[in-house]
């Protein structure tokens, strides 16, 4: 039985806990949160349909301090669902304690921090994965499979969108997500999902051009990016915190291939619909497990030494996603295209 500890029991901690409960051969044996009220609270977030109740049984040991929890031992996996500025420190602690580590996205706020985390995982010879969950969401997984298969030819254009109302669910009125120094802001915290997905399909673009709408507080509330692959493809993505409360959350994609158009998501539509040239549209069958359940099952297979049928995600991919969003943010700040350099540095 894989013994799992969850560190940070807010919105994502409860989401992961619900997913671990569906994971055969694993058990959440410990939860750590500085704020004990979080253990009983129903957390809020912007992803509809995830279990946020997660009452803990008496067999789950509760901690307020990560170092004390790790020193007590008896853990195989540490699942880190802490605010982003705490990721690096706790990833390093957990790896040093000999645990396998799953850490929420974004991996960190800087590429140097990512490099330290990757080096520590290499040294510890433990599984380390960053939860770029969109890769595992059934409709995105299927979309990627269809695009990669090449059955409908090359991509001509693709447009991704992720819209939500302003995130303000963290407790105590001081939501760290609203502090760009802590969360990285819209690019790093939210847009990283689509940038990662785009890079998973087509790699890093040669150049990005991005624009950002900034509110009166100086907080970025909407972004629009074009990814230049040095050819005729038009790949774009929009991300917003400016959606009204009534909309709450929406993620969508439109992919134009030579022989088909694919629509993903969008309020009120089927999760995924393929419109092949000259043929009837169809909605591909999607797996029943949620993206979070699939992500945790994938990580757990790696922990048990099972090779996935197809490599869906590595920690290095999460670093690449950060590299991409940092370049996009830089483009918006400088109002100029930013060229991406493979080494992780970028130049205007
Ligand atoms: N994959 C997704 O869909 C998704 C969605 C939202 C957030 N996230 C990411 O998940 C992470 C957590 O976000 P969230 O929305 O769950 O935040 P949150 O504020 O709801 O929860 C964070 C929890 O960590 C606890 N905490 C803070 N400092 C701690 C410490 N030193 N030791 C132990 N516990 C501590 C807080 O009390 C809180 O309960 C972030 O990196 C965020 O970017 C991912």
Task: Express each pLDDT in 263-295 by its tens digit.
Answer: 999 776 679 999 999 999 999 999 889 999 999
Which residue's alpha carbon is nearest to atom 33 within ligand 1?
33
Which pLDDT score, from 0 to 100, does residue 83 have?
A: 96
Q: What is the pTM of this model?
A: 0.94
Task: List, for residues 11-27, the tens digit of each pLDDT value.
Answer: 999 999 999 999 999 99
Ligand 1 pocket, residue 291 CB under 6 Å: no
Which structure tokens are listed for 241? 């915190």
Three-state DSSP state, 273: strand
Q: Over the stretch 149-185, which tens digit does the pLDDT of each residue have?
A: 999 999 999 999 999 988 776 555 567 888 899 999 9
Q: Does residue 2 have its Cβ closer than 6 Å to ligand 1?
A: no
Which residue out of 5, 9, 12 has the highest number of ligand 1 atoms within 8 Å of its CB and is therefore the one to mutate?
A: 12
Beta carbons within 10 angstroms of residue 305's beta carbon:
7
Question: Would you state the pLDDT for residue 38?
Answer: 85
Residues shown for the chain: 348
Look at ligand 1, atom 21, and give the residue with the nearest C-alpha: 10
- Would the pLDDT of 344 be above 60? no
Domains and CATH numbers, the chain: 2-133 (3.40.50.720), 134-289+314-347 (3.30.360.10)
Query: Ligand 1 centroid vs 114 CA: distance in angstroms?
Result: 18
Return the closest-CA partner of residue 70 out of 34, 52, 109, 96: 96
Mean of all residue pLDDT scores within the chain: 92
CA of 311 to the centre of ligand 1 (A): 27
Angle 113-205-239 from CA coordinates, rounded to 5°:
75
pLDDT digit string, tens, across residues 70-96 = 999 999 999 999 999 999 999 999 999
């Amino acid at each position: 039985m894989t013994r799992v500890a969850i560190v940070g029991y807010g919105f994502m901690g409860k989401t992961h806990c619900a997913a671990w409960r569906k994971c055969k051969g694993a058990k959440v044996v410990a939860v750590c949160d500085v704020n004990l009220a979080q253990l009983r609270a129903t957390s809020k977030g912007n992803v509809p349909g995830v279990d946020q109740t997660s009452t803990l049984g008496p067999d789950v040991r509760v901690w307020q301090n990560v170092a004390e929890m790790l020193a007590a031992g008896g853990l195989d996996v540490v699942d880190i669902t802490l605010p982003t500025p705490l990721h690096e420190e706790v990833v390093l602690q957990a790896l040093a304690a000999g645990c396998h580590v799953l850490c929420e996205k974004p991996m960190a706020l800087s590429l140097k921090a990512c490099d330290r985390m990757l080096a520590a995982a290499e040294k510890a010879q433990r599984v380390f994965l960053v939860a770029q969950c969109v890769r595992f969401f059934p409709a995105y997984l299927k979309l990627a499979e269809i695009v990669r298969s090449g059955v409908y030819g090359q991509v001509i254009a693709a447009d991704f969108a992720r819209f939500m109302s302003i995130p303000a669910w963290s407790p105590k009125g001081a939501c760290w997500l609203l502090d760009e120094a802590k969360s990285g802001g819209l690019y790093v915290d939210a847009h990283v999902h689509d940038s990662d997905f785009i890079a998973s399909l087509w790699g890093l673009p040669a150049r990005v051009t991005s624009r950002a709408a900034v509110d009166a507080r100086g907080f970025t509330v909407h972004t629009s990016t074009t990814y230049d692959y040095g050819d005729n493809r038009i790949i774009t993505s929009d991300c917003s915190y400016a959606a009204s409360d009534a909309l709450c959350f929406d993620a969508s994609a439109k992919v134009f291939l030579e022989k088909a158009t694919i629509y993903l998501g969008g309020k009120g539509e089927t999760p995924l619909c393929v419109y092949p040239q000259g043929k009837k549209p169809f909605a591909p069958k999607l797996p029943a497990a949620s993206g979070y359940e699939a992500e945790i099952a994938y990580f757990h297979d790696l922990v048990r030494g099972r090779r996935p049928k197809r490599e869906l995600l590595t920690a290095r991919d999460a670093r690449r996603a950060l590299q991409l969003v940092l370049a996009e943010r830089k483009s918006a700040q400088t109002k100029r295209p930013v060229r991406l350099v493979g080494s992780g540095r970028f130049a205007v």
